[in-house]
């Protein structure tokens, strides 16, 4: 181990030093922010003029279009001022420089700690060892594409790489770097890990996509959630800012600034951040028929533009995220976790057009380019499906028996056009959105279980044979519509993904004797009725969803239809 660290340390030092130089140069070359100490003291010592909506002062949302906007004085220790009369002075206080050096130090500390820990347990990954630490092998890895392959790791390990990318991204974003700079941290961190930390292994294409791009989508959604909570007009909700500890930590360094780098004046009437709990009637991993289950869900749909949905005209291009979404849900049957679903979306670039009259009639429209992330996992019933069996342990897979995999999907919707249009007519509103992406996915082969009844699955793609999933590319499409008349809201949605397996780039390609094309699709649609309880942030909801799966392997195809019924209580944060 000591010999290895001695040999690897020059590469690590060069990587971190290069990152330090790049970010330090950018930091030093940036234009300095104008300072006005007297102005700063004035704002700190006095009271600030704040703009507070009725939603900010009351527990419930405004229920009609006669709500007034009032000015109020309040101390600066609660939240930053929403309104400062002089726009020049406001810009001086709100224009915060990115902390690139601090972001690099935080990122480097985590990366190096993780790498040393990984090296100390390298013996657990013997099946991945393919390269030695010499010029011949490392020249292939660094200067050719021969080492770029899709790895053979289990599904759980592979989708969780996105969480590492989320942290890489957040180190930059929480230090006031723009989203495109932060994206370089998640992509760069992934590449550094694949080329340097995992120097014995192939350069994993799937890890770079899930960590770099998937981490960006999750990281931006996480950042927006933390910022939303930190800006809440309600003290108890502001405590939820700890759900993003990196934002709290780096915000602490900026505690003496009059306006926080993360300050954002939201129009709270057009945000939907909530937790919900309820009853779900649906199948489980061990039952084909529907049964009773407990359902938990955290969700957010955040519009960052402070004027979105308010009277006025807008026609402008945005280059920072205008929309972010994060959904995390769990289903339990008794004390057993049956399903996990994690979804995130970001729209960082596009155009916003709005025309709303004072009597709340008009429309809001944005369109642009976005990305998304999705993970869906059913509870496995076999050890090999749960990733508990190494690919070196042939006996542990029981190939003499038919396969018994459960459905799973991990996807990064790389890039695609998105739009959302919302029409207002007094207390009525109607919303429609759509999206289309090029998607990279790790999807369970639905037809594999059926195929294995009469066929030997050995010799196929390694992840397919051992873990039931394969790597694919295809389209991801989605649309939703909503009609609302306070306090009633009716929502419908439909999402579709289709994947065709990627051929010829497996890590153990030379051992594959049957590299046949595999195809799968997934439809997910539903309708929900929601009724808000008077003068509260509580709503009752009832919904029905359908999940239709189809798959094909050789001449064998299979399809399933799952119907889910929900009844629950929702609390808006």
* Span 559-567, average pLDDT: 97
CB-neighbour burial class of residue 38 (10 A; exposed 0-12, middle 13-18, buried 19+): exposed
- pLDDT at residue 20, as a whole number: 41
> What tokens were used for 189?
């961190």
**Is 256 a residue whose pLDDT tops 60?**
yes
**Is 206 a residue whose pLDDT tops 60?**
yes
What confidence tens digit (pLDDT) does each residue in 267-293 have?
998 999 999 999 999 999 998 889 999
- pLDDT at residue 143, as a whole number: 93
- pLDDT at residue 39, as a whole number: 42
**Is 135 a residue whose pLDDT tops 50?**
yes
Q: What share of the chain has pLDDT > 70, as a percent?
A: 82
**Is 44 a residue whose pLDDT tops 60?**
no
**Is 156 a residue whose pLDDT tops 50?**
yes
Q: Is the dihedral of CA 36, 42, 44, 48 positive or negative?
A: negative
- pLDDT at residue 460, as a whole number: 94
Which backbone phi and psi does 18 adopt, to 5 degrees? -65, -45
Cβ contact 572:537 at 8 Å = yes
* Span 255-262, average pLDDT: 80
- Report the mean per-residue pLDDT for the chain: 86
The pTM for the full model equals: 0.85
User: Which residues sit opposite 347 in a β-bridge?
Assistant: 323
* Span 515-542, average pLDDT: 96
What confidence tens digit (pLDDT) does each residue in 334-369 have?
999 999 999 999 999 999 999 999 999 999 999 999
- pLDDT at residue 94, as a whole number: 67
Cα Rg, the chain, nearest whole Å: 26
- pLDDT at residue 261, as a whole number: 84
What is the DSSP track for 144-173? SSTTEEB----HHHHHTHHHHHHHHHHHHH
- pLDDT at residue 166, as a whole number: 97
What is the DSSP track for 21-56? HHHHHHHHHSPPPP--HHHHHHHHHS-EEEEE-HHH
What confidence tens digit (pLDDT) does each residue in 383-439 have?
999 999 988 888 889 999 999 999 999 999 999 999 999 999 989 999 999 999 999
Eight-state DSSP code of residue 402: -
What confidence tens digit (pLDDT) does each residue in 217-236 have?
999 999 999 999 999 988 88
**Is 190 a residue whose pLDDT tops 50?**
yes
- pLDDT at residue 174, as a whole number: 95
- pLDDT at residue 90, as a whole number: 66
Strands 272-284, 312-318: pairing kind? unpaired
Which backbone phi and psi does 456 adopt, to 5 degrees? -85, 125
What confidence tens digit (pLDDT) does each residue in 543-557 have?
999 999 999 999 999
């Amino acid at each position: 181990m000591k010999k290895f660290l001695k040999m690897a340390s020059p590469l690590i030092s060069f990587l971190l030093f290069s990152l330090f130089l790049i970010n330090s140069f950018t930091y030093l070359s940036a234009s300095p922010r104008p300072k006005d100490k007297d102005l700063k003291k004035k704002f700190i010592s006095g009271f600030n003029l704040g703009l507070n909506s009725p939603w900010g002062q009351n527990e419930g949302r405004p229920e009609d279009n006669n709500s007034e906007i009032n000015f109020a004085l309040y101390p600066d220790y609660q939240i930053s001022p929403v309104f400062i009369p002089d726009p020049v002075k406001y810009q001086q206080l709100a224009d915060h420089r990115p902390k690139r050096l601090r972001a690099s130090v935080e990122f480097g500390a985590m990366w190096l700690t993780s790498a040393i820990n990984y090296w100390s347990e390298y013996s657990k990954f013997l099946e991945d060892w393919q390269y030695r630490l010499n010029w011949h092998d490392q020249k292939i890895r660094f200067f050719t594409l021969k080492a770029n392959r899709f790895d053979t790791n289990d599904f759980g390990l592979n989708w969780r790489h996105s969480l590492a990318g989320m942290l890489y991204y957040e180190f930059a974003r929480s230090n006031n770097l723009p989203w495109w700079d932060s994206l370089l941290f998640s992509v760069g961190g992934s590449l550094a890990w694949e080329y340097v930390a995992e120097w014995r292994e192939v350069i994993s294409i799937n890890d770079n996509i899930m960590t770099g791009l998937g981490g960006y989508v999750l990281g931006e959604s996480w950042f927006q959630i933390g910022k939303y909570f930190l800006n809440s007009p309600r003290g108890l909700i502001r405590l939820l800012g700890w759900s993003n500890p990196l934002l709290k930590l780096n915000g602490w360094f900026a505690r003496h600034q009059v306006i926080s780098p993360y300050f954002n004046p939201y129009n709270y009437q057009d945000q939907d951040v909530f937790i919900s709990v309820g009853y779900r009637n649906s199948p489980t991993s061990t039952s084909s028929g529907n049964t009773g289950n407990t359902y938990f869900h955290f969700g957010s749909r955040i519009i960052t533009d402070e004027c979105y949905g308010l009277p006025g005209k807008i026609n402008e291009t945005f280059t920072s995220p205008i929309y972010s979404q994060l959904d995390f849900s769990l289903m339990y049957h008794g004390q057993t976790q049956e399903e996990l679903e994690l979804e995130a979306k970001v729209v960082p670039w596009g155009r916003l057009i709005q025309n709303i009259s004072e009597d709340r009639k008009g429309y809001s429209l944005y369109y642009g380019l976005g990305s998304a992330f999705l993970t869906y996992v059913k509870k496995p019933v076999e050890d090999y499906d749960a990733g508990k069996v190494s690919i070196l342990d042939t006996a542990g897979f029981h190939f003499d028996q038919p396969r018994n995999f459960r459905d799973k999907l991990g996807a990064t919707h790389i890039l695609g056009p998105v739009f959302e249009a919302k029409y207002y007519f007094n207390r009525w509103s109607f919303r429609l959105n759509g999206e289309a992406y090029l998607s990279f996915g790790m999807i369970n082969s639905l037809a594999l279980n059926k195929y294995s009844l009469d066929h030997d699955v050995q010799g196929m793609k390694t992840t397919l044979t051992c873990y039931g999933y394969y790597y694919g590319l295809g389209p991801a499409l989605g649309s939703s519509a909503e009609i609302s008349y306070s306090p009633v809201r009716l929502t419908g949605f439909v999402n579709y993904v289709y994947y065709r397996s990627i051929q010829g780039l497996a890590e153990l390609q030379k051992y594959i004797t049957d590299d046949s094309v595999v195809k799968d699709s997934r439809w997910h649609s539903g309708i929900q009725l929601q009724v808000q309880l008077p003068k509260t942030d509580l709503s009752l909801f009832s919904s029905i969803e359908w999940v239709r799966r189809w798959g094909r392997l050789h001449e064998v195809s299979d399809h399933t239809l799952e119907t889910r019924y929900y009844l629950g209580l929702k609390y808006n944060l």
